[in-house]
Structure 1
Amino acid sequence: MAKTFPESAMVIRAISPNITILSVPFLRFNKVKFGGRATIVKLATGNLAVFSPVGLTTEAKSAVESMGGRVNYLIASDIEHHMNLGPWKQEYASATVIGPEGLYEKRKAQGNEDVPIDIVYTKDNKHSLKLPDELGSVFDVEYFDGHQNKELVFNYKPERTMIQADLVFNLPAHEQFSKSGMDATSGIWTKLAHHFLNIQGKGQQRFNWYAAPADKPSFADSAKVVAGWGVDRIIPCHGDVIESGGDDVFKRIFAWNLKA
């Protein structure tokens, strides 16, 4: 049985006037302390974009209301970060759903709620697809079709902030487990994951070369695009926020891909 956590374990933090994160404890395979995180960005229009939605708790709804309440976009950042789309779409029915190719079919096969993906990124349209102007004017987007999880990576240009799901990890997940009553670093499987999915050493560099790519040349091409953004902050779904110096971190952990 999967471990469940109380709603009170969610950590809500405004990291800037326009960005709020919802951090939750999450156990991958019910063993590895990965953590989970949704990111909410308030656009200049007052509309909200929600990336990788986590559980729609009372606290999450309150965070949305505190930012104006107008959820206009729900973004499934890859084919893994979609499990809470149904409740969010039910609550914010007019929201446009954005996700990668294959997600709708995967959800249908798994018996998830029927949530149409309104804007679908594919290998063929990734360079021609245009987002609505209120979104496209402030975000760079790169679709890693060569990633195992089909990653959509965003750069919120006004704050040089990368928002993504499973492209960059920063374990241990201290913030995400801070209200859980659990030690974010304990357990053999968690310690093993930390070796490969932290931003020090060579572990994540090896992971990004051997494990993450499904198509190494395409993966490398996408990594080179993101390396050109010059981001400062990186918000991962798994692990602590990289508050500054994100450009150096990215170029270090993707060094082999960038040379490919």
Structure 2
Amino acid sequence: MSDTLIPSNPSDVMVIRDVTPNVVTLSVPFLRFNRIPVGGRGTIVRLSSGALAVFSPVALTPEVKAKLVALGNNLRYIIAPDIEHHIFVSEWKTAFPTAVLIGVDGLPEKRSAQNDPKIGKETFDVVFKADTKRTTSISAEFDHDFDYEYVDAHANKELVFLYKPDRVLIQADLIFNLPATEQYSRVPEKDRPIPGFLARQFIGLQTTQGDVKGLKRVIWYAFSRSNRPSFNESIKRINAWDIKIIVPCHGDVIEEGAKEAFEKVFDWHINGRK
């Protein structure tokens, strides 16, 4: 059940931070497989029109509600950017019933099949699919500010966005950047998990620091193997964007050398494996 995956006290541990004047991150602790501290992160973006969009929504705490009010409280878009980051969609849709709900192929069916009190049966307004992704659009208002690419060849079916005014790449599981330092920064020291051997190995494989050989192998052999030509095409499209900052759901935001980090991680998919 979802209640085993999320913090019981989100107001106490969430870090709300302005990455830019228009991009706000909501960072929380999260244990994958109940043992690996990967952290979680939602992102709120204020569009040029004044409308707000939330990506990978996390708990809608009083503090988050206050931040939304400060940003204008005009929440028009709720985005579940892959088949994993959707637990809080219902909470946000209930609070903002007129918001456009956006997801990926298979997610509505997955949610409908789950018997979980946090996961409702909301209808998705826009669903990205592999065969129609080049003709699928969200709205003129949204498209004015965002480029987006549906990486359907990724194992988790990733929707990746570039908020063009601030050059911020927003994504879910395409890139991890562990350890999750910010996401655990408000957790009392005594309550922070101590990673065991396997967790340390996972963290070492999911970082953009160093030569990233492990991460490159994980993406090449695991996440892109179903259709590598399609995956490569998507990565090359994303790499053509003007990226300054990368906001991952798991691990720290990359605020320096983000484009270089992207090209390092996806070198084999951009330039071919040598």
The offset of 1:238, in angstroms, is 0.2
The answer for the alignment partner of 2:214 in structure 1 is: 203
CA contact (8 A) 1:174 1:184 kept: no
In structure 2, what is the Cα distance between the partners aligned to 1:187 and 1:232? 34
TM-score (norm 2): 0.91
The code of the aligned residue for 2:203 comes to H
The answer for the alignment partner of 1:2 in structure 2 is: 4
1:259 equivalent in alignment to 2:271: yes
The answer for the alignment partner of 2:199 in structure 1 is: 190
The code of the aligned residue for 2:219 comes to N
The code of the aligned residue for 1:114 comes to K
Q: Residues 49-98 of structure 1: CA distance to partner in whole angstroms, max 9, x if unpaired?
A: 00000111122212211211111000001010001101110011010001
The offset of 1:164, in angstroms, is 0.3
The code of the aligned residue for 2:184 comes to F
The offset of 1:107, in angstroms, is 0.5
In structure 2, what is the Cα distance between the partners aligned to 1:210 and 1:83? 28
Where in structure 1 are there 5+ consecutive unaligned residues?
none
- How many positions carry a matched residue from both structures? 260
In structure 1, what is the Cα distance between the partners aligned to 2:202 and 2:124? 32
The offset of 1:169, in angstroms, is 0.7
Instruction: Pick from 76, 84, 94 the counterpart of residue 80 of structure 1.
Output: 84
The offset of 1:184, in angstroms, is 6.7
CA contact (8 A) 1:173 1:184 kept: no
Aligned CA RMSD, in angstroms, stands at 1.5
In structure 1, what is the Cα distance between the partners aligned to 2:197 and 2:16? 28
CA contact (8 A) 1:223 1:257 kept: yes
The offset of 1:186, in angstroms, is 3.4
The answer for the alignment partner of 1:135 in structure 2 is: 142
In structure 2, what is the Cα distance between the partners aligned to 1:76 and 1:254? 23
Q: Secondary structure at the match of 1:247?
A: helix
CA contact (8 A) 2:36 2:195 kept: no
1:145 equivalent in alignment to 2:152: yes
The answer for the alignment partner of 2:96 in structure 1 is: 92
The answer for the alignment partner of 1:242 in structure 2 is: 254
The offset of 1:230, in angstroms, is 2.9
TM-score (norm 1): 0.96
Q: Secondary structure at the match of 2:4?
A: coil
* Range with bigger deviation, 44-53 or 184-193: 184-193
Matches within 5 A, 1:113-128: 113-128=120-135
Q: Secondary structure at the match of 1:159?
A: coil
Distance change >3 Å, CA 38–CA 114, structure 1 → 2: same
The offset of 1:109, in angstroms, is 1.1
Q: Residues 33-64 of structure 1: CA distance to partner in whole angstroms, max 9, x if unpaired?
A: 01000000001221100000011112221221
Matches within 5 A, 1:215-230: 215-230=227-242
The answer for the alignment partner of 1:42 in structure 2 is: 46
Q: Residues 121-165 of structure 1: CA distance to partner in whole angstroms, max 9, x if unpaired?
A: 111111111221111011110000100000000001111110000
Identity percentage of aligned residues: 45
Where in structure 2 are there 5+ consecutive unaligned residues?
none
